[in-house]
A and B are shown apart, each in its own frame.
With several copies, the nearest count.
Chain A
């Protein structure tokens, strides 16, 4: 068991799949000899050759479109967005072409689009975005969002093996901050579509994903000391949502706090709230509450970013309020 960072786990997952299946290849800006802006693919070009680790022009629509074309032909492309913020330039390609290919034309499109997302790193409005809400609305796509090193590895491997297009969101604040011992002799495959209970509890459920998993776990520990027992659910896959896991937890604790780093209006918390309403209304002993970023573009000054993004203290405060409800 070696201790690996979130980033190293992702790297390993990509590497193993490249070794296992020659149909897998990587394309994106500066992914080749440079190894990617965050060095996720460092050493890949040397090992697998420039044909399987392709430096592309600055053309996100072409990167995603070309990945789709290659996927139709039976390849397993992994397209990197240098920062996930630039996936917006491929929004049309992903939502109109890629997502509908199977439905309208029976075309399998097994591809992964991945890239660093998220804030807490002073990246400002164009290098800190959370884009899950932009694609969550599109049937035909899948979205995964690992919060742990194990899932960083397990989800990228599962995403590559999935027969449908998967958006893989990796949080840059977690890249080198999270470490975990991973077994070396076991193939780690995190199932797509399955949430995970990250912390058991009875008084309140916190449903979250990504960086705010760690803020929620911190909050849960603090609350434990006050005698508030919090269950923390790490969604891991955002599309499709694991309704069963969410309802199981809500039916157990009867209270739900949804936490996400993304802005509030139109964020995923809304959909989760609606589903719980439909599927577990009778079990609710209090209103479903949300802790999210404020509805503004994300500013970069530390004072501002810290204020706009959800912090452990915000979760503790909201959880306490809800527990006392």
Chain B
């Protein structure tokens, strides 16, 4: 159970009931997220990525910290990510090679080359594939949580929404529905300062996302989204509260989107000094490393080793993925229905 370097007697106690192994695991997920995205960026520049590339640089902690608060495993909690929640997917058990295959449109990708980037799910592992239309996953997750409640299963749903996405009608309908029925749902609102090029002040007239949910009669907290342990702790509380049947809980994570909306976006609308400040003073991984080392919960060498193992893992995954074939054209026609009706026939064959 214990790793090779135990904390010294002087170390402050580890918060939130976490073990040292868990702290290191969290670190590994943070690093895995960033390294995988860096590799994807390289592949994007080589024109190997099909479609856009969406980075979560600077937001890794809120993804990893929140998903880490869920109970993972078959038939446990269920999470629905946004495109920037690659870290949450990794925590729930998505393999880096699956994500690479998606971005590279390989036959063996989880969607078989049908839907883009991290739009894929695995109900067994506990995550649900999103669609692009912002807000729509809130009602769907409300329904998943409703099923948990109707069947009296001790399971919780968790769904993410952006500072922009909260303006969508489906968000309102979904969170209100969930709140009115007190289903076990946790909603994580990501205040990352931008919705594409639009700042929050054009999106809504309150200051915090937590203010935006006051309408629903649910508790709402704002946490430092770049403090992975704070995010973990707040989510853990919300998840357990929901599991106890106390209904919906909202967590706002304050963070910053340090890259453009997608790789093609040069972010000219972003004040340079803001970017610099968040990169230098508030990088979630740097902060976590300082905390781990400063508190004596980990040693530098351990982290270096994790970094190295992550690099090797990603290298191997990328190499493997690059050698894989594209999907066969006719595979496009299957699976529209469970029980294929005549409409799925190849019409042109008759010509």
Contacts and interface: CB of A to CB of B under 8 A. Distances in A.
B341 interface: yes
Contact of B195 (A58, A88, A122): A58
A278 B150 CA distance: 49
Contact of A66 (B139, B195, B326): B139
Given A85-B132, A92-B133, A103-B335, A57 B113 contact: no
Contact of B169 (A61, A296, A302, A304): A61
Given A75-B150, A304-B332, A57 B338 contact: no
Interface in B62-111: 105-106, 109, 111
**Interchain residue pairs A-B with the least CB separation, the first 6:** A69-B143, A65-B139, A301-B113, A66-B143, A34-B197, A307-B329
Contact of A69 (B106, B144, B197): B144
A295 interface: yes
Interface string B127-151: 0110111111011111111111011
Interface in A68-108: 68-75, 77, 82, 85-86, 88-89, 92-93, 96-97, 100, 102-108
Interface string B114-132: 1110011101000011011
A61 to B, nearest CB: 5
A204 interface: no
A96 B197 contact: no
A67 interface: yes
Contacts of B195: 29, 58
Interface in B158-210: 164-165, 167-170, 173-174, 176-177, 180-181, 195-198, 202-204
B170 A92 contact: yes
Interface in A270-325: 278-279, 289, 291, 294-297, 299-304, 306-308, 314, 317-318, 321
Contact-residue bracket for chain B = 35 or more
A81 to B, nearest CB: 12
Contacts of A70: 143-144, 146-147, 150
A255 B49 CA distance: 43
Contacts of A299: 111-115, 327, 332
B235 to A, nearest CB: 20
Interface string A168-195: 0000000000000000000000000100
Interface residues of A, number: 90
Given A66-B146, A297-B336, 11 more contacts: A30-B198, A57-B198, A58-B134, A59-B169, A69-B147, A70-B144, A104-B129, A104-B131, A241-B343, A289-B351, A296-B332
A34 B133 contact: no
A14 B312 CA distance: 52
Interface in B258-295: 269
Nearest to B113: A301
Interface string B245-267: 00000000000000000000000
